[in-house]
Amino acid sequence: MEIIIKASVAEAQDEAARIMAAQIRTKPASVLGLATGSTPIGVYQLLAEFHRAGRLDFSKVITFNLDEYVVLTPNHPQAYREFMRQHLFSKVNIAADRIHFPDGLAADVPAHCEDYEAAIRRVGGIDLQLLGIGSDGHIGFNEPSSSLASRTRIKTLTPRTVKDNARFFPHANEVPRHVITMGVGTIMDAHACLMLATGESKAEAVAGMVEGPITADLPASILQMHPRCKLVLDEPAAAKLRRAEYYRWIYENKPIWQRV
């Protein structure tokens, strides 16, 4: 895992956006796995700015979002489809038929989940998967105890995640209890992963993910097994890493050709 520690949230977002932009420039028809939540908002803003400045073309990009709430209508203000429309898709030149989400209204959820997996396979897999991390170590909405080999399926959120996400809803009771999420195995199949984590509320989960044992108790820890995973942090999110100085040393001494 490549660990990049930046001095501020803005610098961490900038680094993540530059990695994503480099992916799209290298392969214009990139398949991107996308995340929602508060962490990537700044990254999407930067990608939209690059596009507005004529420096980034999304016309061939294909996207698959990690997850969607079950039962929220697609245009519900808190539906992840609406989140993505607001923060990225309405601001760049991506065609609607290249955008994919799990369908929180699917009548046959298992069949829909299989279709989602098949759609990812049909386009050759995800080139770059953007990830955030939950304070309990979830990726996508693979909560602690999720199988590390899991595929796209329905999951029940933990009370802690419901509480974390309540800030987006008028009342905690309105946070859906279920989501459809790519599985841990689905995420691990991505050719490359990029996780952005910022703020002290993520420090413990980040330390467990990087320096703890690989365990379903902290699903993000499976990323230790991913051959191409970058983790971009700000200082507060990196605060509990035992080897933070070493990670900084590696980054500072990187050969120029290895940088984005």
Phi, psi for 94 (deg, rounded to 5): -105, 135
- Whether 217 is a known active-site residue: answer no
The answer to whether 72 contacts ligand F6R (rule: CB under 6 A) is no
Using CB under 6 A, which of the segments 7-15, 34-42, 111-119, 235-243 binds ligand F6R? 34-42
Binding ligand F6R (rule: CB under 6 A), the pick from 33, 104, 140, 183 is 140
- Whether 112 is a known active-site residue: answer no
> What whole-number distance in Å separates Cα of residue 71 and Cα of residue 56?
34
Binding ligand F6R (rule: CB under 6 A), the pick from 19, 23, 37, 186 is 37
Q: Is 109 helix (H, G, I), strand (E, B) or coil?
A: helix
Contacts of 196 (CB under 8 A, 6+ apart): 12, 13, 16, 39, 40, 43, 130, 131, 132, 232, 233
Residues 109-138 that bind ligand F6R (CB under 6 A): 132-134, 138
The answer to whether 33 contacts ligand F6R (rule: CB under 6 A) is no
β-bridge partners, 8: none
Contacts of 119 (CB under 8 A, 6+ apart): 64, 100
The answer to whether 38 contacts ligand F6R (rule: CB under 6 A) is yes
Q: Which is nearer to ligand F6R, 59 or 201 (CB)?
A: 201
Kindly list the catalytic residues: 67, 136, 138, 143
Residues that bind ligand F6R (CB under 6 A): 35-39, 66-67, 132-134, 138-141
